Structures are given as C-alpha cells and as structure tokens.
Amino acid sequence: MDRIGGTARTILAAPSAPDAPAPQANMLPGVLIDGVQWTGHSGFRVTVGRATIYIDPYRVEAGPAADLILITHGHYDHFSPRDIERLAHPGTKLVAPAAVAERLAGDVTSIAPGEALEEDLVRGVGVRALAAYNTSKRDAAGDPFHAREAGWLGYELNVLGERLYHSGDTDVIPEMDGVAGVDVALLPVSGVYVMTAAEAAEAARRIAPRLAVPMHWGHHIGTRADALAFRRGVERSCGVEVRLMSPRADAGRSAPLYFRK
C-alpha cells in the first residue's frame, strides 16, 4: 500500500511480459495510433475515450486538462511543476517515482521499477513501471546521468488491450526485454544523456514493437537528423515501422496525431 497526499493505493509486482510476436507490417494499433500525440521533447498526450493522459509534459502551452499525469524522473525537462499546475485539475491523478512523488501534492501515487498499479486510474488503462537508467552516459565526474539506484522510470501502458512503452531517459538495458512486442515504443535518440540513434535502433530491434517513434529531440538536445538516423538504423536491422511525429501548431487541441515521413 502506498500513501502520499492522503491517497492510498495498492502496488503490485508486475507480471512477466509475454513472448514478443514478430513485427507485423501494415497491422498498426487502432486506439493508440489515433490517440497518441507528441507534445515535444519526451512529452506525449494519450487520449483514451474522454480521458487525457500526459507523460512528462514539458512546455505544453495549452491542452485539455489531465486525468492522469505520469512522470519518469526528476530532471526539469521531464518533471515540470509549471506544466503540471497548468494541466491538472482537482481530480487529476499523478504517478511518479518516489523522489518526485514526495514533491507533489494532491492525488499522488509513488511507484518503483517492476511495480504495477492494481487499479486503473483511468478506466481501461493499466500502468506498469520499468527501470530507466544509463550504462554508458556519464558526467565529467564519471557518474551516470541517470543512475539505476535513483529508481527512475519508463512506463508501459495497457490501453484497452494495446500496449505503449515510454522508455524514459535510458540506455539499452535488459529490462527492455519485459516490453517485447508492444504496439508502440517511444524511444529517445539524441545521445549524450540517453541512447544515440544507433543504440535506439538496437532497442527497437530488441523490443520489436509494431511501431517505433523517436523522442528526446527537437528541443534542447537532439535534432531531426538524429530521428532520421534512427529510422535508417531500424530499417537496416529489423522490420519495425518507424514514424517521425511532429507537434502540431494546434497541439493544445485534442486532435488525431499525424506523422511526417
């Protein structure tokens, strides 16, 4: 039982993921493909029916109020109190690793790698937390930018039976085997603090999603060239489809996502 800000919820150890199916060309998921929108950097909005979920909202100037906000870790470009305040309403539920959850108020659930929420915070959406950490990206002192011991996260959402994986800030790590065969994988490609484009292509090969979307580019770090290099690497290594997503000029409105190839 985890209680923060007056809310108590049961957290379960996450079950093992099923074996990954082979990638299936031209058989992309329906609910997710219509309901996911990139808000820039590593931020995404997922619309499920009338509910709105945000993952790592950062510099989201406008948009529908959040029913659920998921935060992967405490760096400012992923945990933005200003964006949370702008998007939240009294009924908004927040999920975050412990070091972030203790800085939040309201209906907050702390979750650790390997745990899953017993109850759906949004109807039809299951939430499972996975580890996210660096193995090779280090600062001048030799410390990883994202240490495994910090307990920072990626998330798997099960949306009405379809699965989405947001990796958080990470390198290629063994825990990715636990999301093999997801429908959509959102993977960072900028290098420096996270996977390079080539490393992210290896992650896509390993996970074998139906669709891979590059993130962590176009803001402070990472360029469209990184995203294109990722797509070329995936095309060479496996049969996974890659689509580059662009934030819309009207990103504040709940509209179907579109892709730029």
Is the pLDDT score of 8 beyond 90? no
The number of folded domains in the chain is 1
Write down the pLDDT at residue 140.
82
Residue 190: which CATH number?
Answer: 3.60.15.10
Is the pLDDT score of 193 beyond 50? yes
Q: Which residue has the higher pLDDT, 162 or 247?
A: 162
Measured CA to CA, the distance from residue 41 to residue 77 in angstroms comes to 8
What confidence tens digit (pLDDT) does each residue in 9-66 have? 545 555 554 444 444 433 454 667 778 899 988 899 999 989 999 999 999 978 899 9
Task: Give the list of residues 6+ apart from residue 82 with CB closer than 8 angstroms, or none.
Answer: none
Note whether residue 146 is domain-resident: yes
What confidence tens digit (pLDDT) does each residue in 59-118 have? 997 889 999 999 999 988 889 999 999 999 999 999 999 999 999 999 999 999 999 997
* Residue 57 token pair: 């909202």
Measured CA to CA, the distance from residue 46 to residue 28 in angstroms comes to 16
Phi–psi pair at 77, nearest 5 degrees: -85, 10
Write down the pLDDT at residue 11.
57
- Residue 15 is classified by DSSP as P
What residue has token string 């390993």? 206
* 173: containing domain: 25-246
Question: What is the side-by-side order of every strand in the sheet holding 2-4?
Answer: 7-9, 2-4, 107-110, 93-96, 68-70, 51-55, 43-48, 36-40
Write down the pLDDT at residue 22.
44
Note whether residue 69 is domain-resident: yes
Note whether residue 177 is domain-resident: yes
Q: How confident is the model at residue 192 (pLDDT cuts 50, 70, 90)?
A: confident
Note whether residue 5 is domain-resident: no
* Residue 250 token pair: 């009207």
What confidence tens digit (pLDDT) does each residue in 149-176 have? 888 999 999 988 899 999 999 999 999 9
Write down the pLDDT at residue 248.
53
Note whether residue 261 is domain-resident: no
Note whether residue 219 is domain-resident: yes
Q: How confident is the model at residue 209 (pLDDT cuts 50, 70, 90)?
A: very high
Q: Which pTM does this prediction carry?
A: 0.83
Note whether residue 121 is domain-resident: yes
Note whether residue 236 is domain-resident: yes
Write down the pLDDT at residue 58.
92
Taking the alpha carbons of 100, 104, 110, 116 in that order, is the dihedral positive or negative?
Answer: negative
Write down the pLDDT at residue 171.
93
